Structure 1
Amino acid sequence: MPRDPEVLEPGTLSRRAVLRGGAAVLGGLFIGIELPAGRARADELQAAGAALNAFVHIPVQGRVSLIMPAVEMGQGVYTSQAMCMAEELDVGLDQIEAIHAPADREHYGHPIFYVQATGGSTTTMAWTEPLRKAGATARAMLVAAAAAEWNVPASDLVTTRGVITHPGSGRSLRYGDVTDRAAQMVPPADVPLKSPEQFQLIGTRARRIDTPDKVVGKTVYGIDVRLPGMKFAALTASPVLGGKVSHVDEAPALAMPGVRQVVVLEDIVAVVADNTWIAEQGLRALDITWSPGANATLDQAQLWADTEKASTGPGVTVRKEGDATGKFTAGTPIEATYELPFLAHTSLETQNCTVHVHDGVCEIWVGTQVPGYAQAGAAQVLGLPPEKVTVHNHLIGGGFGGRLEAAPIVTATRIAQKVAGPVKVIWSREQDIRQDMFRPLYHNRLKARVENGRVTAWHHRVTGPSILARWLPPAFKDGIDSDAIDGAAEPPYALGDMLVEYVRHENGVPFSFWRGVGPNSTVFSVESFLDLIAHRTAADPVALRRVLLGKNPRARAVLDAAAAKAGWGTPLAASPFGARRGRGVALMHAFGSLLACVAEVAVTDGGDVRVNRVVVATDVGRVINPDTVVAQVQGGVVFGIATVLHNRITFAGGRVEQTNFNDYRLLRINEMPTIEVELLASTEKSGGIGEPGTVVVQPAVANAVFAATGVQLTRMPLDASLIARSV
């Protein structure tokens, strides 16, 4: 029964009741939801018990602590990582606590990146084996401790759900009973892992371990952190990219009740107050004069033109097989260019960071994909050794690559330096978009020679900036950004003589990784170009791809599965949205996974596009949790459709023109298509799945529009006016 006395009768609900505990009204029935006290706490779970290795801590009593090297931001890796460790440790998911790994590259550095980071759809492929080994090693140590206590061979013992049993005598011990003794042992080398037929968890549809706390509002994201005496800061940067502060009249803000301080930095102005609302109002009251600097004339048309010009200049050879250039001298090749705009990350949880600088140390509460970079960045600002900076990492309310940068943590630390006590810095949605580090603008130039239904020469030139040259310099080798050309250098198709080139072009706009990273650009271009070839040669798009996949049976199987499930070649059902209808197909091999996608669209005479149905077939290697794979494909598809239909970041006078979700569109509920996902069984090594759905759906939708209208998308997003003129 509801406790609030202000709820007077069924079907009525006071504002105070909602604020106190949350509520729902269904028909005439009032359902009160009691949220747990202290929801927004700063303390996160800490590892308990003896450490058997960097990933497994076992207490004498209570749940096993499993340390998660990859960060959970909605993609389900806490569950998949826990499944890998728990599988070999022989405990249930209900017996474990998932703990954030601290900033510690030595123990939690990424096996592929070396630095401590979560991204690139690499968590499963990078961490599955190390985490299984960690669980198996811990189990072996516990069994050895029990065997020593009973003076029996370790091979005689069995383990189930955290209990060690000696079947011959019926004796048993809990893991906690021998954990202290086990922790004193030297970890054994080369512990055997389970064979697939022995799996109890891996490959099953496991419920996500982070869901229960989210359902009741117990989960603490970075934006939820509360500390005693904490203040709140709102900030603004120059509306012109890279501008500096010229003058600030602080008086109007400081006169407002609850405003405590105005912090003025070279490039940032922040208002510190008793809560975020007051801080935002204080920020609006400030009279700030900005010096716009060199970017005051930055214009989107010029950015496109400069990139186009750069694409014709000298590049670096990424791959050369045969003599593609020579083959183009005979006959007329098919040519096209494809351009992808800047994009923002727009995660549900805007950038935020809580920092407390005191007594020669710094504490940070944040959700970040790069805790090590966050620690190092804050330490550099403060002139402290990194070990004096503690990063309390939290679950993230959406990352999409936007939290692979330490810049927001550095900014918050610069502000906190000027504030006595802890301060939480929160970016408004407008600042989150306008001051983002954007998905780069890319240009792809392709040329092909086609003979007798086969591609005999292929030239792909990718032009854009290098993220890796800044973010991970050792990975930028010989002038090649391996991310920027991913999907171009190793296409799944047989394309004859090949020449793939990369042209590095920096344009002064801050940029970062974005969900799908390099393959967003390259796969979109390759798959769109193949449909153009099919159109020019009067070939069926699926049939053309099947010919080019003759020596790649794994990719061909994925393509065939998607085409069959989508009913490729059968008539499309009528759509109330638009008379022009089309199917489009796309295939990708990236992130260690293979996906094929078929999209069905309807197009109005006015040029509006509705995606009605999306079918995706996947071969992601060995699957850890099927439900996670399906969910990630679905989420990626939604993300990708919004990109191809709506989204771009543009500049005018050095300013980002988009401000919020009214002009930077997410896919809305009335635009949601039916999404069907088919998982192909595979024993190959596990690949990634967080980003592929976003990558593969974009060319599939564009190709479906091409099929429906005869207009090919060459610069994203879709231009409704061009499609309308095609009627």
Structure 2
Amino acid sequence: MNAVANRRAFLAGAGGLAIGFTLPSGGARAQASGAALAPNAFVRVGTDNSVTVVAKHVEMGQGPSTGVTTIIADEMDAAWDQMRFVFAPANDPLYKNLMFGTMGAGGSSAIKESWMQMRMAGAAARAMLVEAAARRWGVPASAMGVRNGVVSSGSHKATFGELAADAAALPVPANPTVKKPDQFVYIGKKFAKLDSRAKTDGSAMFTQDVRLPNMVHAAVRRPPAFGGTVKKVEAGAAKAIPGVIDVKPVPSGVAVYASDTWSAQRGAAALEVDWDLSKAETRSSAQMLAEYSAAVRTPGTQVETTGNAATALARAAKKIDATFYFPFLAHAPMETLDYVIEKKGDGIAVHAGSQFQVGEMRAMCGVAGVPFEKSELIQHYAGGSFGRRATPAMFDASEAAACARAYGFAAPVKVVASRENDLTGGFYRPMTVHRVQVGLDANGEVSGWDQVCAAKSIMKGTPFEAMGIKDGVDGNMIEGANDTNQYRIADFRLGQHLMETPVPVLWWRSVGHTHTAFVKETLIDELLAMAGKDPVAGRLALLKHERAAGALRKVAEISGFGKRAIAKGRALGVAVHESFDSYVAQVAEVSVGADGLPKVHKVWCTVDCGIAVNPDVVRAQMEGGIGYGLGHALYGEITLGEGGQVLESNFDTYRSLRIGEMPDVEVAIIPSAEKPSGVGEPGVPPIAPAVANAWRRLTGKAVRRLPFAHGDNA
């Protein structure tokens, strides 16, 4: 292939233009070739004047598809009503997450990692359309204007669709010029999400919606305790249920196949299984907490040491010695994990809302015994995740493939986890215990901070271990407490213990920040109160980062913190935290509810996330994060009872925030010229400590254990 041909980009069979920056490895529905500027193909301009963006991140409600489409539309100067998006196939060379090295969403990375990649893709498409027009009309490209999907020069005008075929024959510019921020048309402006209508009228396809000819439905009965295995199965009662077709063993338990999901789930419940629990987790949550609590009485693996915390604490005038307890938490997305798998030629076709597209497909192909290159992922919307769909071991995908293989690929197999499977099946936020010793000197300044954390590692024993554990330290466990600690504390020490349990653990929305922010922000608040200092002014004096200070000042301003009268029986609590490169501050107005728990009336939230590509999406993510974090802080707890069995099995026992309990939320976005950073998760960490700090002011009780509903905060 000659140099010019190698730099061309074609939309296969459509007579239009596709922009990419690498040669596809085959099997990609978004076929493109071009120069090696960035390894992706994202823009399709059709002769029908449509501009289709190939979105590489799973769309599970957080809005990346609208986000990347906004960036490309802005750089192209397209008309918003001509923009579309489609989901990318499982193809790493084209669609890998630049932070991960493989396809995937997580870590609030979608817009952050693809910001310049999308801008370059859009700018390149615009430049080629302009050049095509220049050649057609015989005028310089510099004399062209582009607006709302129309290229013009003097009396000449042409739409993108009219220029697409000519542009497809041109070389892709290696270094297209991107806009300056003051030239943005869509970025930073209010536009409805592109998928809102489809999700409203029901046309958006989720895996739950997939119906294929002759499809059978499967449900899996798993062991009652984590680490258990099957010894013997009596399937007579299950097979007697109308609609049940067959019963097969699979590595994770026993699969029941039926004509519909409900019959499959009833059949799974009716199975009589003799389980081998000799290697299972049989400890209760109380027993595990006792062991974790003993562990944090010792230093553990050293994560970070600055100055001499022990000496400073020995000299402190006042001290706090606090142990914090955080339970296992389930993700509980509305759409439980589900897959549809069918044999197609020498490979398999999979319908899924996959978060790790290539990883899951490779895992499923391995289980199915078919080549990845001959297989296809049909990506759908996902009904939430909060981390649940991003298992490093690709457990759920592998289980689904095992069900299809056990059935002999005799028909398409749809595997749907019941709510009970979802809540009792593991992959929780790890149970975590922190012990912190902190002090104040005679002048009321922080004097020594000694912190030890104990939890099971999310990364250990998974394909992500080498990336996530360095020198024996799991960064997920202590993020937000280590070198990103936002306060100036001269004498600081941090240690960790990696605990062992068969209970599967996983990233949960904002990961380690869910507990490290709570520890840090409640203790800072308590120390400032002991020193007789204002919660906002005291924090501002200690903060390292001006962007954190800016978020804190703004939230104090909009909430009137310390400057307005508060209704009797109410108190304000404040917290500020940086996570995923974004700075979020929150103030919560709280009273004592009729149930004896905090009643949160209003939350003020400020966020500095760099350039806010879609402000409405940013606000929605802050609001959603506040609701998600608040519900779990008040009620969320997965408990292992005697014998290691999970006690919570549905929303009647795993309580979520109800619509009537959602506080009024006011969000202010800090104007910024910094590149975009995460918004999917950073709204979660500050809410629990903000409420806890208000609660301490109301009741005099410092909160050491979540959820509030546990009832033993001292």
Q: What do the CA deviations read for 1:632-676 (whole angstroms, capped 9, x no partner)? A: 111110001111110111112121110011111110122121111
Counterpart of 1:467 in structure 2 is: 458
Counterpart of 2:445 in structure 1 is: 454
Q: Which one of the candidate residues 477, 480, 485 is aligned to 1:487?
A: 480
Counterpart of 2:471 in structure 1 is: 478
Distance 1:296 1:437, change over 3 A: closer
Q: Which one of the candidate residues 178, 182, 190 is aligned to 1:197?
A: 182
Q: Secondary structure of 1:288's partner?
A: strand
Distance 1:582 1:693, change over 3 A: same
Distance 1:207 1:493, change over 3 A: same
Distance 1:209 1:605, change over 3 A: closer
Structure 1 residue 336 and structure 2 residue 322: aligned?
yes
- The answer (yes or no) to whether the contact 2:601–2:663 under 8 Å persists in 1 is yes
Tell me the matched-pair count: 672
Structure 1 residue 674 and structure 2 residue 655: aligned?
no
- The answer (yes or no) to whether the contact 1:234–1:270 under 8 Å persists in 2 is yes
Counterpart of 2:5 in structure 1 is: none
When structure 1 is superposed on structure 2, of 458-467 and 419-428 the one drifting more is 458-467
- The answer (yes or no) to whether the contact 1:644–1:702 under 8 Å persists in 2 is no
Letter in 2 for 1:715: R
The gaps in structure 2 that reach 5 residues or longer are 1-11, 21-40
Distance of 1:119 and 1:370 partners within structure 2: 9
Structure 1 residue 379 and structure 2 residue 365: aligned?
yes
Cα shift at 1:141: 1.8
Q: 1:203-352 counterparts in 2 under 5 A?
A: 203-295=188-280, 297-331=282-316, 333-352=319-338
Counterpart of 2:68 in structure 1 is: 81
Q: Which one of the candidate residues 512, 520, 523 is aligned to 2:517?
A: 523
Q: Which one of the candidate residues 494, 503, 509 is aligned to 2:497?
A: 503
Structure 1 residue 714 and structure 2 residue 699: aligned?
no
- The answer (yes or no) to whether the contact 1:374–1:391 under 8 Å persists in 2 is no
Q: Secondary structure of 1:295's partner?
A: coil
Counterpart of 2:144 in structure 1 is: 157
Q: Which one of the candidate residues 178, 191, 210 is aligned to 2:163?
A: 178
Counterpart of 1:641 in structure 2 is: 630
Counterpart of 2:58 in structure 1 is: 71
Cα shift at 1:692: 1.3
Cα shift at 1:314: 5.0
When structure 1 is superposed on structure 2, of 676-685 and 408-417 the one drifting more is 676-685
Cα shift at 1:152: 2.6
Distance of 1:305 and 1:55 partners within structure 2: 52
Distance of 2:602 and 2:705 partners within structure 1: 23
Distance of 1:314 and 1:531 partners within structure 2: 25
The gaps in structure 1 that reach 5 residues or longer are 1-45
Cα shift at 1:691: 0.9
Distance 1:235 1:153, change over 3 A: same
After TM superposition, the score normalised by the length of structure 2 is: 0.90
- The answer (yes or no) to whether the contact 2:316–2:440 under 8 Å persists in 1 is no
CA RMSD, aligned part only?
A: 2.1
Cα shift at 1:557: 2.2
Q: Which one of the candidate residues 336, 342, 353 is aligned to 1:367?
A: 353
Structure 1 residue 391 and structure 2 residue 377: aligned?
yes
Cα shift at 1:445: 2.3
Letter in 2 for 1:52: I
Q: What do the CA deviations read for 1:204-260 (whole angstroms, capped 9, x no partner)? A: 011100101111110001111111221111222111212212222223333333222
Cα shift at 1:99: 0.9
Q: What do the CA deviations read for 1:128-164 (whole angstroms, capped 9, x no partner)? A: 1110111101111222222233333222222222222
Counterpart of 1:6 in structure 2 is: none
Q: Secondary structure of 1:55's partner?
A: strand
Distance of 2:306 and 2:706 partners within structure 1: 31
Distance of 1:124 and 1:391 partners within structure 2: 23
Q: Secondary structure of 1:610's partner?
A: strand
- The answer (yes or no) to whether the contact 2:350–2:376 under 8 Å persists in 1 is yes
Q: What do the CA deviations read for 1:93-135 (whole angstroms, capped 9, x no partner)? A: 3212211111111121111122211111111211111101111
Q: Which one of the candidate residues 664, 673, 677 is aligned to 2:654?
A: 664
Q: Secondary structure of 1:531's partner?
A: helix
Letter in 1 for 2:597: D
Q: Secondary structure of 1:616's partner?
A: strand
Cα shift at 1:503: 2.8
Counterpart of 2:396 in structure 1 is: 408
Q: Secondary structure of 1:282's partner?
A: helix
Q: Secondary structure of 1:131's partner?
A: helix
Structure 1 residue 97 and structure 2 residue 84: aligned?
yes
Cα shift at 1:172: 2.4
Q: What do the CA deviations read for 1:586-615 (whole angstroms, capped 9, x no partner)? A: 110111111111111111586322111111
Aligned-pair identity (%): 36
Cα shift at 1:572: 5.7
After TM superposition, the score normalised by the length of structure 1 is: 0.89
Q: What do the CA deviations read for 1:157-189 (whole angstroms, capped 9, x no partner)? A: 22222222222xx22232233323433333212
- The answer (yes or no) to whether the contact 2:296–2:453 under 8 Å persists in 1 is yes
When structure 1 is superposed on structure 2, of 566-575 and 488-497 the one drifting more is 566-575
